[in-house]
Amino acid sequence: MKKAGRQLALVALPLLIAGCAPAAVTTEGRATHDAYNVFLIAAACVFGIVALWLLWSIVRYRRRNDELPAQIDGSTRLELLWTAIPLALVLFLFVVSIRAQNTVLSDPPSRVTIDVTAFMWSWQFDYEGSDTQIIGGPGNVPEMVVPVGVPIHIKLRSSDVVHSFYVPRALFKRQAIPGTTNEFDMNFQRVGVYHGQCAQFCGVNHADMLFRVKVVAQDEFERFLTSGRGGAPTGGGT
Ligand code: CUA
């Protein structure tokens, strides 16, 4: 019995871990995470109900003699029921998705706009209304400095091939496509340094396309903007 319990824990643990998305650090990411949790809980409930029901009918209707249990056929009520339940579930999850998407795609007025340019093989960050420019290169991981708690508007472009702007802790990824500007907003809620990388295979040095998002207090951000560079050893300032 003890052994069975341990085996069950061994099986359950990876499943539990696989079900965990990292805690998001942006408002948009939190909306995504919340929607994900609703899906997870809905799926777990459906699984639990179906599994229990299945076990119950296996035990309840196991063969005892040659007599058949009551045979139900063409029940309109049952047909309606098992059409209505999944339909309601899908509609509910649709609404949850739309609401999360509205938060992720919302375009709040923001006073910080950063032009992000992906190129083979690094990133360039230009702050609109300022000379501040951060450019990464071989052996130099660029750092996008942003203030905490305010929406940051990002204009994402590519100067050559398709890349992908990915910040795992923001639960957000968007492609940088040549000839197109993809715009989105990110509102970081926690001071810290977050890893970012290109998530689209774009050539031999794709793996070098790393960057960092450095979230700082608002006054520190103002200092960073006026000094032209954040005092960080990364990124080429002007
Ligand atoms: Cu750029 Cu991969």
**Strand, coil or helix: what is 117?**
strand
CA of 185 to the centre of ligand 1 (A): 21
- Could you give the CA distance from residue 53 to residue 208 in angstroms, rounded to a whole number? 51
CA of 124 to the centre of ligand 1 (A): 13
- Could you give the CA distance from residue 45 to residue 67 in angstroms, rounded to a whole number? 34
Ligand 1 atom closest to Cα of residue 202: 2
Model-level pTM greater than 0.85? no
In this structure, the residues whose C-beta lies within 6 A of any atom of ligand 1 are 118, 163, 198, 200-202, 206, 209
Length of the chain: 238
Name the percent of the chain lying above pLDDT 70. Answer: 90
Identify the band that residue 4 occupies on the pLDDT scale cut at 50, 70 and 90: confident
**Strand, coil or helix: what is 215?**
strand
Contact 180, 141 (CB under 8 A): no
Ligand 1 atom closest to Cα of residue 203: 2
- Whether the per-residue pLDDT at 1 is higher than 60: the answer is yes
pLDDT tens figures, 146-202: 999 999 999 999 999 999 999 999 999 999 999 999 999 999 999 999 999 999 999
- Find all residues with CB under 8 Å of 46, minimum gap 6, and list them: 89
